[in-house]
Amino acid sequence: MSQPTVGRVTLRPLVQLDGSEWRRLHSYFRDRELADWNGAQPIRIPEFLFRRVMIDEERGGDRHGFGILDEANELIGSIELYDLKPVPPVTARFATLGVMIGERRLWGQGYGRDAVRALLLWAFSVRQPPLDRIRLTTFSHNRRAQRSFLAAGFSEVGRSVQGDRTDVHMEISRDGWLEQTGAS
């Protein structure tokens, strides 16, 4: 699997992360604030089990995950495509995107946007066959994320309300991405 680079980030497939990178990634998934921004609970499983589960899902075709590396080649977060449709073993054409910059000092500096653009490059032109559409959901109050997704080419396609929370749904098609980027 190739390592797409856009701007200041390079994506490294999860299966290629080293031990120290896995420990750092595990710490991100254990962090309460990061989990809250993702609408999840912090994980409680040990690092070795976290690694095994993630790699098993990756090898099983249930997700495509990458570590996000900065310009110094340091792990700063993760990005993945999950909820692949149709489900393996049928070739997936659609996926849901999730991204997390784990280093707070880098929030709001464009690393997430670059990571999303690198993932779109991989999903729409490197992956064979390429995906047709990628979607995501974010909290309505997470305007920083929405601006980042819009800058990467996503469009808002709707909102939904669940109790006191409003979710923003966004997506991008391969055709739209090709038109925006001039890629072929």
pLDDT at 1 over 60: no
What's the confidence (pLDDT) of residue 74?
97
pLDDT of residue 44: 94
Assess whether pLDDT exceeds 60 at residue 170.
yes
- Between strands 94-101 and 133-139, the pairing is parallel
**Cα 20 from Cα 23, distance rounded (Å):** 5
Stretch 130-150: mean pLDDT: 93
Can you give the pTM of this predicted structure?
A: 0.92
- The DSSP symbol for 40 reads S
The percent of residues in the chain predicted with pLDDT above 90, rounded, is 74
Which pLDDT score is estimated for 2? 65
CA 128 to chain centre: 18
Closest CA to 78 of 43, 46, 45, 44: 43
What are the tokens at 15? 């299966």
Give the pLDDT confidence score for residue 61 in this predicted structure: 83
- Alpha-carbon distance of 33 to 30, in angstroms, equals 9
Lowest mean pLDDT, pick from 23-27, 71-75, 144-148, 166-170? 144-148
Helix (H, G, I), strand (E, B) or coil at 63: coil
Structural domains in the chain?
Answer: 5-131 (3.40.630.30)
Rg of the chain over all Cα atoms, to the nearest angstrom: 16
pLDDT on residue 37: 85
Amino acid at 114: D
What is the per-residue pLDDT across 36-78, written as a single tens digit (0 to 9) for each? 888 889 999 999 999 999 999 888 888 999 999 999 999 999 9
* Distance from C-alpha of 74 to C-alpha of 63, rounded to nearest angstrom: 23
